[in-house]
């Protein structure tokens, strides 16, 4: 079932709504028109108790002023572009610099802060089809881009996110969702005891501004090796220059064998107290593992007044490599008019 609910009024736009999707298996998700944000995601634990496992806000104002990208859809280009500059087809472009010396998550007003049109389709597996038009030149990106994101709440207690995009000119595109997870419940403390497995054999080091150095390293013998399950906290305080520069995990991990045709099981996160298990399927080639190092904005507490506290949530942002537009050895993030950007990520929940 789907319930449309008023959430607030935005100057120059009018009323803004959220959409609550429920299935018959005890799971629900609430999506906001602003940024297509996942506002809440409720799933049962091993004894059937339901908790909200994603970070979010109680007010539209907080989402408008948000700099953490809680649950939001990210585009045109997720992650960082060094100096906001790139060259395409012999022409230089400048994206808005909004994070130190780089353009982050789409620039000044990325997809995360736009109002998406929403088409709800009710049924046993309810879904929302969100659409957005990004005009030629917006945020320094060429071409008109038509984006469609479909959220589907599956009866198997999984949330599917299907991304599609088309353009009339060659343009960089790298879409993701920026949900922050804590499987014990968003207000349950740090995520250090979460057991994480990621099928990634390489990672991308960054400099002090979190911009890729251009190197792609093996995870073997590093804190970034999650090929065998381990807790997030096990190697968090390891004497690692990469972790020190980022204040924790905030790195792109490259999946073994890269991009796949169909969504493939790539990651698992398990919270032992609740027994909740989240499995992540995707056909994207990489994931940005982020341990919530910058959750420190005291002016914008989370739902219920819960404060922002570093390392109380983690992100698994499936995507292509950061700053790839400036790195020949990185993923191709250029979408051409004769192509369709087409990726799916599925977050599946169960218990142990």
300 in catalytic set? no
Query: Which residues, listed in sequence order, are joined to residue 73 by a DSSP beta bridge?
Result: 177
Q: Which of 101, 116, 110, 232 is nearest to 176 (CA)?
A: 110
| Annotated catalytic residue within 178, 194, 251, 271 | 178
Using CA atoms, how far residue 262 sits from 140, 165, 265, 266, in Å, is 32, 17, 10, 12
33 in catalytic set? no
Please identify every residue annotated as catalytic. 178, 317
């Amino acid at each position: 079932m789907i319930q449309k609910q008023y959430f607030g009024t935005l100057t120059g736009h009018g009323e803004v709504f959220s959409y609550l999707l429920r299935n018959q298996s005890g799971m629900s998700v609430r999506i906001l028109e602003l940024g297509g944000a996942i506002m809440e995601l409720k799933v049962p634990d091993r004894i059937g108790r339901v908790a909200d496992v994603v970070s979010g806000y109680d007010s539209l104002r907080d989402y408008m002023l948000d700099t953490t990208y809680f649950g939001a859809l990210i585009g045109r280009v997720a992650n960082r572009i060094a100096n906001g500059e790139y060259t395409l087809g012999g022409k230089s472009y400048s994206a808005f610099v909004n994070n130190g010396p780089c353009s982050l998550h789409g620039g000044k007003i990325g997809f995360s802060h736009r109002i998406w049109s929403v088409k709800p389709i009710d049924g046993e597996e309810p879904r929302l089809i969100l659409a957005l038009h990004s005009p030629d030149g917006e945020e320094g990106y060429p071409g008109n881009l038509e984006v469609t994101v479909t959220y589907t709440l599956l009866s198997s207690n999984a949330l599917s996110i299907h991304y599609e995009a088309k353009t009339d000119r060659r343009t960089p595109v790298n879409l993701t969702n920026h949900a922050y997870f804590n499987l014990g419940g968003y207000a349950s403390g740090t995520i250090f005891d979460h057991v994480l497995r990621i099928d990634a054999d390489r990672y991308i080091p960054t400099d002090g501004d979190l911009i890729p150095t251009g190197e792609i390293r093996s995870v073997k013998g590093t804190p970034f090796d999650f090929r065998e399950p381990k807790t997030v906290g096990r190697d968090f305080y390891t004497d690692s220059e990469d972790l020190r520069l980022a204040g924790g995990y905030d790195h792109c991990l490259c999946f073994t064998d890269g991009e796949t045709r169909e969504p493939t099981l790539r990651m698992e996160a398990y919270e032992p107290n609740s027994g909740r298990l989240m499995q992540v399927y995707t056909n994207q080639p990489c994931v940005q593992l982020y341990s919530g190092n910058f959750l420190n904005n005291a002016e914008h507490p989370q739902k219920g007044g819960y404060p922002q506290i570093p390392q109380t949530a983690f992100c698994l942002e499936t995507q292509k490599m950061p700053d790839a537009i400036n790195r020949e050895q990185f993923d191709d993030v250029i979408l051409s008019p004769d192509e369709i950007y087409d990726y799916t990520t599925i977050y599946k929940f169960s218990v142990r």
